[in-house]
């Protein structure tokens, strides 16, 4: 092909640097224990891809890549990571499924080698040029051509995209909404609050009969444990002792 011959030294240098950046960012996403580091490595990869888009004269897509991916999606990732707690790091060493990681690595290596070998040796049959519209006819910019293609050839797909975005927004709102009627077993985060509420109450209710009944051990246990169930049992034991007396 003629494009192979016409490569200049700056093009090769740009490609090599961007390939290193993209792959190191990808390795950072896969390997890093902290989710924030993974998100920042993802930014590195996305910028490398954007530069490769510029290198292939897709300027508008490079700008959209930086704005949408690095500006919106990664910020959304970071927002959720911060929302759920930054300090939770994954324990990479523990392996719940025995031998899964070496197996995954071997399978991926075999697949990648197969794809590369096939594309190096097989004949490519994608020979038809300018099927959906020419990229080189006239002297239009890629933004002009892309807009013309989207608003004429792919107009219905574009409209369906608008519907998809509306559905995504509505779905996100529905998912993020707190349910109005909350049962006790549904609300997992409320349990520690009940514990905290039961803690200070328990010694007071348990220690009220104690001066008369004289069972300081049970009351002390209830205070140390600080659990509503222990406090209830202790109060029950004290009341039984009172009845027996």
Partner 1 sequence: MSIGPAWYLGLAAALFALGALGVMVRRNVLVMFMCIELMLNAANLTFVTFSRVLGDIGGESLVFFVLVVAAAEVVVGLGVVVAIFRRRASTTADDLHGMKG
Q: Which stretch binds partner 1 (CB under 8 A): 160-168, 194-202, 206-214, 228-236?
A: 160-168
- Would you give the DSSP letter of residue 95? -
Site string for partner 1, 64-103 (x = CB under 8 A): xx--xx--xx--xx--xx-xx---x-x-----x---xx--
Q: Which stretch binds partner 1 (CB under 8 A): 141-149, 196-204, 215-223, 227-235?
A: 141-149
**What number of CA atoms fall less than 13 Å from residue 91's CA on the CB side?**
4
Which one of residues 136, 141, 190, 229 is an interface residue with partner 1 (CB under 8 A)? 136
Element (H, E) at 119: helix 100-121
Nearer to partner 1, 164 or 208 (CB): 164
Q: Which of residues 19-48 bind partner 1 (CB under 8 A)?
A: 19, 22-23, 26-27, 29-30, 35, 38-39, 42, 45-46
* Angle, vertex CA 61, rays to CA 26 and CA 15, nearest 5: 50
Helices (H), 32-68: 35-55, 59-64
Q: Which of residues 185-244 bind partner 1 (CB under 8 A)?
A: 186, 188-189
**What number of CA atoms fall less than 13 Å from residue 184's CA on the CB side?**
4
Report residue 4 as tokens: 């192979």
Which one of residues 44, 63, 66, 154 is an interface residue with partner 1 (CB under 8 A)? 154
Which one of residues 17, 82, 86, 116 is an interface residue with partner 1 (CB under 8 A)? 116
Which one of residues 17, 82, 86, 133 is an interface residue with partner 1 (CB under 8 A)? 133
Nearest to 86 by CA among 36, 28, 51, 46: 36
117-120: which pairs have CB atoms within 8 A and are 24 or more residues apart? Answer: none
């Amino acid at each position: 092909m003629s494009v192979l011959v016409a490569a200049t030294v700056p093009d090769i240098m740009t490609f090599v640097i961007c390939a290193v950046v993209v792959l190191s960012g990808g390795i950072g996403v896969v390997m890093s224990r902290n989710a924030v580091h993974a998100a920042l490595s993802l930014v590195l990869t996305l910028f490398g891809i954007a530069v490769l888009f510029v290198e292939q004269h897709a300027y508008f897509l490079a700008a959209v890549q930086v704005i949408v991916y690095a500006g919106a999606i990664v910020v959304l990732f970071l927002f959720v990571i911060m929302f759920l707690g930054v300090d939770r790091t994954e324990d990479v060493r523990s392996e719940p499924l025995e031998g899964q990681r070496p197996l995954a690595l071997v399978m991926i290596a075999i697949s990648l080698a197969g794809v590369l070998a096939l594309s190096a040796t097989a004949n490519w049959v994608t020979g038809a040029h300018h099927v959906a519209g020419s990229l080189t006819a006239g002297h239009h910019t890629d933004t002009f051509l892309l807009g013309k293609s989207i608003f004429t050839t792919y107009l219905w797909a574009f409209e369906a995209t608008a519907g998809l975005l509306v559905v995504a927004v509505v779905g996100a709102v529905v998912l993020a909404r707190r349910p109005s009627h909350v049962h006790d077993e549904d609300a997992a985060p409320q349990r520690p609050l009940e514990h905290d509420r039961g803690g200070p109450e328990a010694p007071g209710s348990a220690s009220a009969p104690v001066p008369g009944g004289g069972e300081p051990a049970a009351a002390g246990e209830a205070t140390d444990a600080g659990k509503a169930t222990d406090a209830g049992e202790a109060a029950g034991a004290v009341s039984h002792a009172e009845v027996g007396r």
